[in-house]
Structure 1
């Protein structure tokens, strides 16, 4: 991961062919080249090949795939993830988040540290499940889905390294992967089938999907609804959970940022439960989150396969070649970011926005595959930061440093533990 960033920085963003033995992909990091692959000629660079094949067993043919399945899902889901629609769900989100962090009071009283990653994931899971399922899924089932998805998403490394291995032969990780898929399906499929029978008009996403029709006016299949829900769940959970796990080590290293962030939350939220009406005034909080996504984008690598041979950036890319687009690398290019390794939320102050190349920053991807969940992130994540910092004063048990783990998402390589101290108020 850091190696990719170093290669991108050393090359100045030029296209580089990586020598990984039998696998020799091209690293794409310059914003001009990223724009070409993700937007300008995006139909020539599809989500296919060794990186995507193992994911099909988890996500199916959904919003994260290609072809007719993706086109159908995109048309159906796009109206459900507009800023207006997500805002309509925000009060329920805020209630769920407040409850999730209020449940940590025993840790404040006992002084026992929490596992920040696990607790952020717990609250994110409940919030995302609220958006997707409303009250259709029990807390017990919601708590089953989160670890099952995490296990499924992290147990196919062998398949990615050896994509030619037939699925009839069991390889390391298969048993855990298949057991996790079964857990996910055991929870989701009965809920979808019941929602289909009821045909209710609830605000949750599963109700909306059950009401939707395809281009021929037919109901969407239960399998497509399942695939889309699993894809959305993963995207919404991973980005927020990853960013908020990194927040605490970053604040520990930058006390001036922590002080400014707490001052804003004290002023805007105070002692009250956090509410969607607070969001417009949490401006610095949003800047902190944007900078977190710059240095620690959840989707740190976005693989594509070239469908036809072409030349761009002075390099001839042959059909069938894999290209690796890396936000992690692009977000660290010195040509586009002053002091790129320094955490500085002021980069995202309104007066600094116009000077940036449009494709120098793309934590949610871009082009036709732009992540639908970005509106959800900028409601969910600020509410979570405000909810915890208005209640507690988190202090790292071990100040680090914390290095990233090269996994499907950019997580700290070791556990982030912190104590929740009472807030001393004037």
Structure 2
């Protein structure tokens, strides 16, 4: 018999509003531990109160993202705000438009195409490691440094020769837009974007600057006859659907902004915490470094080396288990559904959380401990498919997940070739913007390996 999901503890008047606003991840974790795999949250004061549902079992996540994906759509406030801020690209589009976009863009993410980007990732990581040689006191703050690394790598892939201008503008303006998305998505009452409040004016100016730089580069590529150009903007302007139609310049811009969002902040978070965890666990760091030295023998890491770096790959996966870049994923139910024996009403907002499910004791022994060997082939085969889902899943799984793995492993290998890391900050508070982020410094002390190239 279908039951009503248990209600999370909350304030008599505001329900879980303040808890979810002030400590979203902690609130979900506590609700799961207290009430189980499906939990109902009352959010907001009477008259404005909404109900949302957290689904935390691997089986429930599979229903939402996989088998019943058609019933759980990207129509909640978060996706509405992303859509209005950075356009209707692959992350936010739906139905026939999503299918059309995915069909046109998929050839840009084939394994052979993505493998060609490994050299860019290596070069940017090697340049960063070189700059670290003059770091004050031999100490660097990882979250800032990894953001620079991944932004420059993705910007080179997207913008080609225009990287320096584009990366500077994106690095300055994207956080403004991202903060606005989160703030507006969780607000009980959203002020219209057209009202000239200080926050709206700041966001509009940042959005206009992002649009301007993308539009300028796209126009240049459309006018360029260079058939050998391989930056992604050029490839997007040349993409064709089955009927021969192209993406118009606005649609190309939407895709570029989504790729910037999904391709740099997410991997920056994963790299930050992978290095942080290695710095806190010297034995794992030395094991990873020994594997890198044996596999590469001092040469640059390439895409073909991923199979030769299984332990380093497991380190990166374990970092994404403990610190998934997209810690919460939301959907809206079209029709009433049943998950794990509980009723989900039509129209309800439903949230799955890699951060919570990745700590579910049914799938993970000692779930808060760092153990890369959770990701040996045998261990992975013993777990449900959706016990680990940092890239989502089902028909809307991230198109760039192989690129993220390539960028992460090549970046880590390049940095480990050149430096040893010791943790300065052993406890790092977490925050949520459009992605999971460190809310405090993530400093490490470096020791350069002078024998490496």
Q: Taking structure 2 as the reference length, what is the TM-score of the superposition?
A: 0.87
Cα 1:5–1:83 change in 2 (3 A) is farther
- In structure 1, how many angstroms separate the alpha carbons of the residues matched to 2:168 and 2:133? 20
- Give 1:44's aligned residue: 71
- Give 1:373's aligned residue: 400
- Measure how far apart 1:121 and its partner are: 0.9
- Give 1:125's aligned residue: 151
Cα 1:96–1:423 change in 2 (3 A) is closer
SS in 2 for 1:51: helix
- Give 2:352's aligned residue: 325
Indicate whether 1:157 and 2:182 are aligned: yes
Q: Is the 8 A contact 1:158 1:172 kept in 2?
A: no
Q: Which runs of 5+ in 2 are unaligned?
A: 1-24
Cα deviation 1:368-411 (Å, max 9, x = unaligned): 11001111111111111111121122333x33311211333221
- Give 2:341's aligned residue: 314
- In structure 1, how many angstroms separate the alpha carbons of the residues matched to 2:366 and 2:29? 14
SS in 2 for 1:304: strand
Cα 1:270–1:376 change in 2 (3 A) is same
Q: Is the 8 A contact 2:159 2:166 kept in 1?
A: no
Cα 1:204–1:424 change in 2 (3 A) is closer
Out of 73, 80, 94, the position equivalent to 2:108 is 80
- Give 2:41's aligned residue: 18
Q: Is the 8 A contact 2:181 2:434 kept in 1?
A: no
- In structure 2, how many angstroms separate the alpha carbons of the residues matched to 1:30 and 1:149? 33
- In structure 2, how many angstroms separate the alpha carbons of the residues matched to 1:67 and 1:146? 32
- In structure 1, how many angstroms separate the alpha carbons of the residues matched to 2:128 and 2:276? 21
Cα deviation 1:281-319 (Å, max 9, x = unaligned): 111110000001111111111111111223332222222
Matched residues, number: 421
Q: Is the 8 A contact 2:125 2:415 kept in 1?
A: no
The 5 Å alignment of 1:261-300 reads: 261-300=288-327
Q: Is the 8 A contact 1:303 1:323 kept in 2?
A: yes
- Give 2:427's aligned residue: 401
- Give 1:221's aligned residue: 248
Q: Is the 8 A contact 1:35 1:359 kept in 2?
A: yes
- In structure 2, how many angstroms separate the alpha carbons of the residues matched to 1:246 and 1:412? 9
Cα 1:252–1:101 change in 2 (3 A) is closer
- Give 1:97's aligned residue: 125
- Give 2:7's aligned residue: none
Out of 218, 239, 244, the position equivalent to 1:192 is 218
SS in 2 for 1:213: coil
- Give 1:177's aligned residue: 203
- In structure 1, how many angstroms separate the alpha carbons of the residues matched to 2:33 and 2:269? 24
SS in 2 for 1:376: helix
- Give 1:166's aligned residue: 192
Which consecutive aligned stretches of 4+ in structure 1 deviate over 6 angstroms post-superposition? none
- In structure 1, how many angstroms separate the alpha carbons of the residues matched to 2:196 and 2:78? 18
Cα deviation 1:295-351 (Å, max 9, x = unaligned): 111111111111122333222222221001111111111111111111110000122
Q: Which runs of 5+ in 1 are unaligned?
A: none
Cα deviation 1:98-152 (Å, max 9, x = unaligned): 2333233322xx53522211111111111111222232x1313322212322221
Q: Is the 8 A contact 1:306 1:319 kept in 2?
A: yes
- Measure how far apart 1:215 and its partner are: 4.6
- Measure how far apart 1:172 and its partner are: 6.1
- Measure how far apart 1:230 and its partner are: 0.8
- Give 1:252's aligned residue: 279
- Give 1:114's aligned residue: 140
- Measure how far apart 1:424 and its partner are: 6.6
Q: RMSD of the TM alignment (CA)?
A: 2.1
Cα deviation 1:74-116 (Å, max 9, x = unaligned): 1111121122220133233323332333233322xx5352221
Q: Is the 8 A contact 1:155 1:176 kept in 2?
A: no
SS in 2 for 1:308: coil
Q: Is the 8 A contact 2:279 2:421 kept in 1?
A: no
- Measure how far apart 1:199 and its partner are: 5.0
